Structure 1
Amino acid sequence: MSAFSKALRTLSAMAIALAIGVAASFTPAHADPNATLDRIKSSGVLKVPVMVGEEPGYVKDPATGNWSGFYMDWANDIAGFLGVKVQPVETTWGNLAADFQANKIDIAFGLNPNPKRGLVVDYLSVPLFTDAWAIVTKKGYEKKTWAELNDPSVRIVVQKGGTMQVVAEAMTPKAQIIPVEDRPLGVMELQANRADVMILAIFDAVQVSKQIDGQIILPKPMLINPATIGVKREDGNEGYENWLTNWINYQRSLGLAQGKLHQTFEKAGIDLSMLPPEFSF
C-alpha cells in the first residue's frame, strides 16, 4: 500500500471518528427514570398540599397545628414506603399548578382531569377513587338537572380556580356563578342565602350538607369525576409515576381506598348511606 493510500485511510478513519463524536454530542441524554424518586428520598420529605376547610380530607388541629384526614393518611402511607416524612404545605386548589412549578409540592391527591393544569402536572391514569359532581343546597330545592340549573335566576357558588368552576362554566353558563377562594366562604354564601347551590365533588358535598343541614343532589346527567394523584411534569418522573400507579392499584384492588373513606366519614359522624343510590365509588 502506498504512503498516499495509508494517509488517505488514516484521514478517512479520523473523519468517521469525528462524525461519530459530533453525532453523539447532539444525541439527547435520557433522564434517569428514577430521578424524581431519588430526589424525594434524598430530601427526606414528601411535600404535600394541605387546605383549610377541606374536612375530612384535610383536618387541621387548631391546638397543635397538626394535619390529619384521609388524604394525609394516604400521604403518610406513601411516605412510609419511601422512608421519608410528610411535609404539609398550606395552599388552595387553584394554586396547585403554580406550587408544582415552584417545587413547593411533590404530590397532590384527589385531583380531577384539568387540561389547563395538565400542562404542568402529570395525572396518573388510574383513579384512587371515583367521585361525581354534585350540588349542595337547602332542603326542598327542586332543580334536579344541569339544564334546570342553567338559568339566570340560579346563583351557584364555586371554589375559584378549581375544577368545580370549570364544571359550572361548562354546564350552567347562564347561571350567576359566584367564585370564592375556599370552601368555608362558599358555605357562608349558602348560609346567608346569597347563593342557591354550591357545586362540589360528592364526598365534599357530604361534609357541607351536614354543616348546613341541607341536601345533596346529583344533577342529571351524572358527571363522573375520577379522583386521582398528580405529580409535577419533569424529566425523570417515570419511575415515580409507575410506583404510585402500583400503589393505587394495591389500594383499589384490596378495598383499602374505599374502606378508608368509609372509616373517615364514620369517624366524622357522617353516614355514607346518605349518598344518592345511583352513585358508587
Structure 2
Amino acid sequence: MKNRISLRSMFVATALALAGLNLAGMGVAAADPVWDRIESSGNIVCGAIPNDPVGSWVDRQTGQWEGYEIDLCRAIAADLSKEMGKEIKPEFRETGWKTVVLDLQSNKIDIWPGMSATPEREKALSMIGPMYGLAFCGVTGKSFQSEGTWESLNKPEVRIATVTGTSIETAFKKLAPNATHVTLSEYSEVTLAVQSGRADIMGADALRCLNVHKSASHAFGDIVFPTPIQSMGSSAGIIKAADRLAPWLKKWSEEKQASGEVKAIFVKVLNNAGFDTSVIPPEVQF
C-alpha cells in the first residue's frame, strides 16, 4: 500500500512539474509588481524634477506639476485606465537626476519617462523607448551664416561648441567630424563662447536651443536644425521586474509617436511656456 501511495505521489509531482514546464513554454508571464501595484492602487507614481525647464516644474499659481514629462505621464495614465478597465490617476513624486535610478529601484516612483538609455542605466533598469526624440540643432553667433546642412558645418573653419562628455558632443563630432570642436565643461561656457566669437555655433538639442535663444535672442543669430534631421532618443526608466508594463509601454510609445500625439504634447507645452515653435521645421518630430 505504501509503495502504491508513493508511486501515485511521484506521478502527481511529475505531472505538476511537466505542467509548469508547458506553461513556461507557452510564454505565461510572471507577475509584474509594478503593473499589479498600479492596478490595485489606481495610481501610477511618476517622477518629477522641480525647476527642470520645460520638462517638469510646479506652476506657482495653481500648485500643479506641468511640463512635457508630466503630460506624458498623464497620457500614459489615461491609456492604462482603458487597458485596466478602471481609472488610473497619475501621482507625481519629487526626484532628481542624482537619485532617479535609486528611486525607481526602491519603488518610490513607478516610472520616469525621459532619460538617455546609457549602458549604466540599462544595467540597473529596463529602458523603454525611445519615448520621444530631440532633434539636434545649433544656435549661431550673430556674425555666422549657416546653410542649414551637416555638410556645411563639416568644415575645419566652422567652430562648434558643445559640453564635454555629453551625448551632444559625441553626436556633433560624428555628424561633423571635420569641424573644429570646442568642448567646454558647462553650457554657460558654451553660450559665452558663441556670444564672444570664440565659437560659431552651439551644438545642442531642440529644447535647449529654444531655451537659450529665448533667454537672450539679441545675443545670438539663428536656431539651425541641420539637415538631414538627426535626433537623440529619450527612454522611460522602469524596474527590470516590470515584465508586463514594459511591452505595453513600448507599444504605447511607438503608437503615440507615429500618430503625432507625442509631438502635440511638446508643442502645447512649449507654446504655453512662451517659446516660438514656428522656428521648428515641420519635419522635426518628437
Band of TM-score, shorter chain = 0.5 to 0.7
Q: Secondary structure of 2:244's match? A: helix
- TM-superposed CA distance for 1:258, in Å, is 2.6
Structure 2 partner of 1:268: 273
Equivalents in 1 of 2:153, 2:75: separation in Å? Answer: 43
Q: Are residues 255 and 148 of structure 1, via their aligned partners in 2, closer, same or farther at CA, if it must alter by over 3 Å?
A: closer
Q: Secondary structure of 1:199's match? A: strand
Q: Are residues 146 and 39 of structure 1, via their aligned partners in 2, closer, same or farther at CA, if it must alter by over 3 Å?
A: farther
Question: Which residues of 2 match residues 99-110 of structure 1 at below 5 A?
Answer: 99-110=103-114
AA at the equivalent of 1:139:
K
Tell me the matched-pair count. Answer: 263
Equivalents in 2 of 1:242, 1:86: separation in Å? Answer: 22
AA at the equivalent of 2:7:
A
Deviation per residue, 1:8-54 (Å, 9 max, x gap)? x7599389559849x78x98x98634421112445645131325342
Q: Secondary structure of 2:265's match? A: helix
Over the matched positions of the two proteins, sequence identity in percent amounts to 21
Q: Secondary structure of 2:263's match? A: helix
TM-score normalised by structure 1 residue count: 0.68
- TM-superposed CA distance for 1:59, in Å, is 3.0
AA at the equivalent of 1:272:
T
Conserved 8 A contact 1:48-1:89? yes
Equivalents in 2 of 1:150, 1:99: separation in Å? Answer: 44
Q: 1:119 aligns with which of 117, 123, 135?
A: 123
Q: Are residues 124 and 167 of structure 1, via their aligned partners in 2, closer, same or farther at CA, if it must alter by over 3 Å?
A: same
AA at the equivalent of 1:175:
H
Conserved 8 A contact 1:36-1:240? yes
Equivalents in 2 of 1:262, 1:53: separation in Å? Answer: 17
Question: Which residues of 2 match residues 46-85 of structure 1 at below 5 A?
Answer: 46-55=45-54, 57-61=55-59, 66-79=64-77, 81=81, 83-85=88-90
Q: Are residues 78 and 123 of structure 1, via their aligned partners in 2, closer, same or farther at CA, if it must alter by over 3 Å?
A: same
Structure 1 partner of 2:224: 217
Equivalents in 2 of 1:100, 1:151: separation in Å? Answer: 44
Q: 1:88 aligns with which of 74, 90, 93?
A: 93
Question: Which residues of 2 match residues 172-187 of structure 1 at below 5 A?
Answer: 175-180=181-186, 186-187=187-188
Q: 1:242 aligns with which of 242, 247, 255?
A: 247
Q: Are residues 19 and 77 of structure 1, via their aligned partners in 2, closer, same or farther at CA, if it must alter by over 3 Å?
A: closer
Structure 1 partner of 2:191: 190
Q: Secondary structure of 1:124's match? A: strand
Q: Which sections of structure 2, spanning at least 5 residues, go unmatched?
A: 82-86
Q: Which sections of structure 1, spanning at least 5 residues, go unmatched?
A: 1-5, 181-185
Deviation per residue, 1:159-184 (Å, 9 max, x gap)? 87x6435535756787342244xxxx
Q: Secondary structure of 1:87's match? A: strand
Structure 2 partner of 1:183: none
Structure 2 partner of 1:37: 35
